[in-house]
Structure 1
Amino acid sequence: MTRDWFERRTHSWDEWTVADLVRARRDSGTSVSLVVPARNEAATVGAVVTRVREQLMETVEFLDEIVVIDSDSTDATGEVASDAGAVVHRSADIRPDLGSVPGKGEAMWKSLFVTRGDLIVFMDADLLDWDTHFVPGLLGPLLTDSDVHLVKGFYERPLLGGNDPAAAFEGGRVTELVARPLIALAFPELAGLVQPLAGEWAVRRSAFETFSVPTGYAVELAALVDTVRSFGVDAIAQVDLGRRAHRHQALRDLGAMATQIMAAAARRSLGTRDEPGNDAVLLRQYVGSAGAIEPSERSVHTGERPPMVSVGHAAGGAR
């Protein structure tokens, strides 16, 4: 991504008014789905759904649906989201004939079977510091430029608990330690993206349903690479959304995320594909216990779902 791309394809959320985008959506006959993948986010998902519903469905008719995909939650995530006005589906209940695996990407892939929007906006369920302008901001390039197929959000993302102004972008640890080095080495065409792993992004259904989708946290990087390879670098735009904060995961959990991202990158840079039974790796980490160092092992799922168009809507998948 050259400086020319950055200047042409980098936007600010306030370049469009909601009224302008509502008009563009209506005039083009474009339908829009907001999808919120969620796992054990009962504390925050209700506020996310409520604010978006009130501002973008009731105050103005901007969204056609808000759909929460509950990914094996053990808390009241589904009930809270439903009470707030979302349509809720358990990931495991969508196309049960295809099986189910845990993961954010799995929930996003499964959403293709139960949503109807021509445009799909993905938003994380654990947002703490944000506003509803995220949604129209992400949709601006898609509703005003037919050449754009995928839009990434970027924002100040502080590491919570720090008072140093320099920490405004310190929240993206996996981005800086894993994704950005991978991009520099294998996918330099993506180097202009400020936050390639941002959980807030939007995509044309017609594009996303043709991509192979990692079932875990690699879905964002994979979608970027696949968009460039299918449609060219100008099919991607990015939008400055201002500021976003959410809870941060423990360091060892980030190790599992990094493993999934590296596996998806290897597939796309080396051209390898999953072999049956080879969709997980054993990640060994070390923890302190009673004054000693003990190994801790976890199985990290690195598999991918095939393009949705190759599966179809049979067996209860109608949308």
Structure 2
Amino acid sequence: MIRSAHHADFDLDRLLERKDRSVTAVLPARECAATVGLAVERILGLNGLVDQVLVIDANSADGTAGLASAAGAEVAQEDALVPELGPAIGKGDAMWRALSVARGDLVVYLDADTPGFSPAFVTGLLGPLLTDPSAQFTKATYRRPFHAADGSVLPGGGGRVSQLTARPLLGAFYPDLAGLSQPLSGEVAGARALFERVPFSTGYAVETAMLLDLRELIGASAMVEVDLGERLNAHQSLEALRPMADAVLASVTERLRRDGRLVDPPAGAGVVRRPPFASLRGAAA
């Protein structure tokens, strides 16, 4: 089963003492001028915990690349990495292409669009990898308040695709992953050699497919979900979330079909089906 940890469990000085591998931080970025500079500065301010900060820019028009470079990051345009494959296809492709220039033994993928980026995002995800030999993959979880149109705030209303699509599917077909509270979090860390052994789906499918591939490769017991506190990312409309939900569903059903499990009933309580009412009348006659 998935283990859990909290970012406060990991002190920077202790991690620096335990650090025995080099670390690359990868930040895929698209139009992140308002946030990327602070993120890079705070990562580089961790006294050498991270050896390489890579910003993989998606041809942003708002100056993201220049701001990231000025803050001290190495910047690469996603289309320029592994160019023989043509233009990059979304975040998952950018994450995969980043492996071609990442030098660290460990790779931590971080969001570049987070307001108020905290160093705890980095120490939290790296903590289990540097202190627990059995931990091979870490994944972020966080509280996502939802700011409704009427001005009200729902403390746990964010992460709608996770709650309404990903978690029910994983709970039904992969119960050892059911403990994940934010399975679609894109902030993850692990050995570069581990990431190089799994395929990366492009677009919205990357988080789900990676999770299922790593489950097969290392098992859920080698995974740690780390609480990174509260996250205030922008929320998308329901219409914009539909492609994400479609991608999650496709990732799971593709895996079930490959494994010959698509006809399996979901684990746990199923839906009770009542017979056609006319059949009851016929039986009583």
**TM-score category (smaller protein):** 0.7 to 0.9
Which segments of 5 or more consecutive residues in structure 2 lack a partner in the other structure?
Answer: 260-285
Aligned match of 1:43 in 20, 30, 34?
34
1:51, 1:61 → 2: CA distance? 11
- Check if 1:139 corresponds to 2:139: no
Q: CA deviation at 1:68?
A: 0.5
Match of 1:252 in 2: 239
Give the Cα–Cα distance (whole angstroms) in 2 for the partners of residues 129 and 183 of structure 1: 31
Secondary structure at the aligned position of 2:185 is classed as coil
Q: Find 2:66's aligned residue among 76, 79, 102.
A: 79
Does the 8 Å CA contact 1:129/1:244 hold for their aligned counterparts?
no
Question: Is 1:122 aligned to 2:123, yes or no?
Answer: no
Q: CA deviation at 1:123?
A: 0.9
1:182 paired with 2:169, answer yes
Shift of 1:230: 0.8
Q: Percent identity?
A: 44
Q: Does 1:14 align with 2:5?
A: no
Residue 144 of structure 1, CA deviation: 1.4
Q: 1:168 to 1:199 in 2, by over 3 A?
A: farther
Once the two structures are superposed, residues 154-195 of structure 1 have per-residue CA deviations (whole angstroms, 9 ceiling, x without a partner) of 11111135544xx22211011112111221232222101111
What are the Cα deviations for residues 219-276 of structure 1, in whole angstroms up to 9, with x where unaligned?
Answer: 122221111111111110111111111112232221112222222222222218xxxx
- Answering whether residue 71 of structure 2 is matched by residue 104 of structure 1, we say no
With normalisation by structure 1, the TM-score equals: 0.76
Match of 1:191 among 178, 193, 199: 178
Judged with a 3 Å threshold, the aligned counterparts in structure 2 of structure 1 residues 36 and 52 are, in CA distance, closer, same or farther, namely same
CA contact (8 A) 2:6 2:227 kept: yes
Whether the aligned pair in 1 keeps the contact of 2:42 and 2:117 (CA below 8 Å) is no
CA distance in 2, matches of 1:147, 1:48: 29
Contact 1:130 1:243 in 2 (8 A): no
Residues 7-30 of structure 1: CA deviation (Å, up to 9, x unaligned): xx21111212101111111xx2x0
How far does residue 130 in structure 1 lie from its aligned partner after superposition?
4.2
Contact 1:69–1:111 (CA<8 Å) still a contact in 2? yes
Offset at residue 125 of structure 1 (A): 1.2
Contact 1:148 1:237 in 2 (8 A): yes
Q: Residue 34 of structure 2 aligns to a residue in which SS?
A: coil
Measured in 1, the distance between the counterparts of 2:205 and 2:136 equals 19
Q: Distance in 2 between matches of 1:24 and 1:158?
A: 35
How many equivalent pairs are there?
Answer: 257
Matched residue type, 1:35: V
Q: Give structure 1 stretches of 5+ with no counterpart.
A: 273-319
Tell me the residue number matched to 1:89: 76
Q: Distance in 2 between matches of 1:80 and 1:254?
A: 29
What CA distance in whole angstroms lies between the structure 2 residues aligned with 1:249 and 1:148?
A: 33
Task: Write the distance in 2 (CA, Å) between the matches of 1:187 and 1:71.
Answer: 33
Higher strand fraction (1 or 2): 1
Q: How big is the alpha-carbon RMSD for the aligned residues of Structure 1 and Structure 2?
A: 1.7
1:1-319 to structure 2, matched below 5 A, reads 1=1, 5=2, 9-25=3-19, 28=20, 30-53=21-44, 55-56=45-46, 60-160=47-147, 163-164=152-153, 167-271=154-258
Distance (whole Å) between structure 2 residues aligned to residue 153 and residue 136 of structure 1? 11
User: Do 2:90 and 2:203's aligned partners in 1 also have CA atoms closer than 8 Å?
Assistant: yes
| Alpha-carbon distance in structure 1 between the residues aligned to 2:30 and 2:251 | 22
Deviation of 1:142 after TM superposition, in Å, equals: 0.7
AA partner of residue 36 (structure 1): L
Q: Which residue identity lines up with residue 148 of structure 1 in the other structure?
A: A
Please give the per-residue CA displacement for 1:98-123, whole angstroms capped at 9, x wherever unaligned: 22332010000001001111111111
